[in-house]
């Protein structure tokens, strides 16, 4: 099983627990005269609950068989998925976390990771649909209504068309300007927010889920500046073309290998 897939399965086990508990509570409060619906719901909830309770077994088995047990454990720990599981942290496992034995090229190729990350691409299909609908609308109403009868309708559609053409042009131009990577992982350090952070200066990092008015982000919570003071910087995952697991895998490997 691929490393990223295994991490996602463990992560989904938490969601499975919530789903199973919700269905179980729903079954208990349901009022079925013959009790058949209650039994069906409980049976439906059982696999979700079972997935969660087998999480520890899954993790321990993967730690034994995985090519990258250190990276696997480190990501689970950063995502808060190792709490109350009593995982045995052997010397071999800790060595793989802090001093991985495999090469960088091997790790990157096996896990399909890119060391250069661009800005997240802008989605233009909706604007294109609006342009097409505007053109169709102009031709349709031109056949049904004369311009003199309802000039505001034609002017409104025309302005809407021009606006979307402008947005399309600006969006395409922005896509061209976003080809250059804004995050780089190299052996000498991490390039982020137009700065380079040496791996030895980075102390720790953590993933913080987004809230109601806040995007998901990965926070490098500790790094030392030139005055050896602890500072903080943020990699906003909503603005770069990388998900949290890929970013965490890169952080874990490069810090362990070169930090």
Dump pLDDT digits (tens) for 162-214: 887 877 777 666 666 555 678 999 999 999 888 899 999 998 988 887 665 55
Which band of pLDDT confidence, cut at 50, 70 and 90, is reported for residue 251?
Answer: very high
Domain assignment present for residue 118? The answer is no
Distance between CA 47 and CA 15 in Å, rounded? 12
Q: Is the pLDDT of residue 220 over 90?
A: no
In degrees, rounded to 5, the angle at the alpha carbon of residue 213 between the alpha carbons of residues 10 and 113 is: 40
Domain assignment present for residue 58? The answer is yes
Last residue of a domain, one of 160, 177, 194: 177
Asked whether residue 168 falls in the same domain as residue 217, the answer is no
Q: Alpha helix (H) ranges present in the chain?
A: 3-29, 36-53, 55-65, 69-78, 91-98, 104-110, 125-144, 151-177, 244-258
Asked whether residue 7 falls in the same domain as residue 95, the answer is yes
Q: Which of the residue ranges 68-77, 151-160, 204-213, 238-247 would you say has the lowest mean pLDDT?
A: 204-213
Domain assignment present for residue 253? The answer is yes
Asked whether residue 13 falls in the same domain as residue 69, the answer is yes
33 compared with 152, residue with greater pLDDT: 152
Strand order across the 183-186 sheet: 116-117, 183-186, 189-192, 195-198
Q: Are 154 and 197 in contact (CB under 8 A)?
A: no
Asked whether residue 168 falls in the same domain as residue 189, the answer is no
Asked whether residue 201 falls in the same domain as residue 251, the answer is yes
Q: Which residues contact 79 (CB under 8 A, 6 or more apart)?
A: 7, 11, 207, 244, 248
Domain assignment present for residue 207? The answer is yes
Domain total in the chain: 3
State mean pLDDT over 26-34: 60
**Cα first-last separation, the chain:** 28
Asked whether residue 211 falls in the same domain as residue 197, the answer is yes
Instruction: Give the domain extent around 168.
Output: 125-177
Whether the predicted model's global pTM rises above the 0.75 cut:
no
Report the percentage of the chain scoring pLDDT > 90: 15
């Amino acid at each position: 099983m691929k490393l990223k897939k295994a991490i996602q399965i463990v992560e989904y086990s938490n969601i499975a627990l919530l789903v199973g508990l919700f269905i179980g509570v729903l079954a208990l409060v349901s009022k079925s005269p013959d009790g058949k619906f209650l039994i069906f719901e409980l049976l439906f909830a059982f696999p979700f609950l079972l997935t969660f309770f087998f999480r520890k077994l899954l993790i321990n088995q993967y730690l034994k068989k995985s090519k990258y047990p250190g990276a696997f454990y480190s990501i689970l720990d950063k995502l808060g998925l190792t709490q109350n599981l009593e995982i045995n942290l052997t010397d071999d496992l800790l060595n793989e976390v802090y001093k991985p034995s495999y090469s960088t090229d091997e790790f990157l190729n096996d896990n399909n990771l890119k060391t250069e990350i661009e800005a997240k691409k802008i989605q233009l299909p909706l604007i294109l649909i609006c342009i097409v609908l505007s053109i169709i609308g102009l031709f349709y109403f031109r056949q049904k209504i004369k311009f003199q009868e309802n000039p505001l309708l034609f002017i409104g559609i025309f302005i809407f068309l021009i606006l979307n053409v402008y947005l399309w042009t600006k969006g395409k131009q922005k896509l061209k300007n976003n080809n250059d990577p804004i995050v780089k992982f190299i052996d000498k350090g991490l390039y982020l927010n137009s700065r380079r952070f040496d791996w030895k200066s980075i102390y720790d990092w953590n993933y913080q889920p987004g809230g109601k008015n806040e995007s998901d982000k990965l926070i490098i919570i500790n790094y030392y500046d030139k005055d050896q003071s602890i500072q903080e910087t943020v990699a906003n995952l909503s603005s770069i073309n990388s998900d949290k697991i890929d970013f965490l895998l890169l952080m874990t490997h490069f810090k362990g290998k070169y930090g």
